[in-house]
Structure 1
Amino acid sequence: MQELSCGAEVRSVYADGMGSLTIRAKMHVEKVGQREALVISEIPYSTNKSALVERIAELVTKKVCRMHDFPCILNISRSECSTHMQTLQGVSDVRDESDREGLRLVVETKRNADVNEIHSLLLKHTRLELKMNCNMVVLRGREPVRMCLMEQLHEFTKFRRVVIRNKARCVPLVSLLNLQNSCGQPIRSATRVPRSACI
């Protein structure tokens, strides 16, 4: 599974029936010769691997403005945003080494590059970290109701009791219809099972 940034977020969603979860890709650092590489082993749900690789490659050459949280446009001078600018120039290569054993994306860094800084920029400007909203609305009867986890479990077990009880009423009557007399003919005098009894 992907990593959840905070267990408190999960507990809040379970307790209130709504909230948001931060889902983050799993990454670790590996040594490649004298350099380091960020290896991505799992990505968040709905993140496309090919699009992610293209996005990282795009960020290698694109300057990202931290102050405004969007790429600097041409009408902003270099001197105006240079103090707030970070790039992924520390990345030397991006490779997809995925195989039948699982996903593996390698972001290889240059010598003396700050791996922690590259890690932070990747989380901020790619889909390696996503915010997912949760709203646990269920139907109780015909009315939509937001429930916490315990209320949902209670309603589900109550529903299953009704289903099993109705099946228990229906099975003996159905078995009677399938009985055969000594001549091998079905019993025709058996009472037909009402549809309402099997619902």
Structure 2
Amino acid sequence: MDEKIYELITKMYSDITKRLDGIDERLGGVDNRLDGIDERLDGVDNRLDGIDERLDGVDNRLDGIDERLDGVDNRLDGIDERLDGVDNRLDGIDERLDGVDNRLDGIDERLGGVDNRLDGIDEKLGGVDNRLDGIDLRLDGLDADVKKLGNQLTKLEVELKDDIKALYDGYKQTYEKVTFLESKLDKQEVEIRVVKGGK
């Protein structure tokens, strides 16, 4: 491996790690905002009791998708054996890392808008009753959407198989940090779903 390229990649990984630390701090602030909103949503829970049974069916479908994703994770465990040719792909990794920087810029921008969106939620709470009335109609098409998502996931597994294997070595140094950030984001998504869907 060319030493200069290796040093460049190492520096870029370090920059990405620092940016992820900053994003984590901002997510902590979002947690505090969501805690306050959660208290206001307690009064909405009674309206949601009537649709829990149908949502359980959707959850079961999503559980099946989670199992397939677990299978993808298990397949990634064996990718190490196929990394002997990584040196020939370093030029591509450089370009991909530029893409990571762009995506992180997007995350910064999106997080900047989270505060504004949270402010808007206070106003949207006044229209929650009407939105709940429309949930029943939307649920009729949700099963078809979940099925379509499963088909798209199957196609995505095929299309991304080679790219995932090529990127694995490059992202290995930041894997634990990204996993931690994903868990934080998952928590935010759950709380946002509480805001938007009562779950």
Q: Please classify the TM superposition score into its range, dividing by the shorter chain length.
A: under 0.3
TM-score normalized by the length of structure 2? 0.21
Structure with the bigger percentage of helix = 2
Which is greater in Rg? 1
TM-score normalized by the length of structure 1? 0.21
Higher relative contact order (CA 8 A, sep 6+): 2
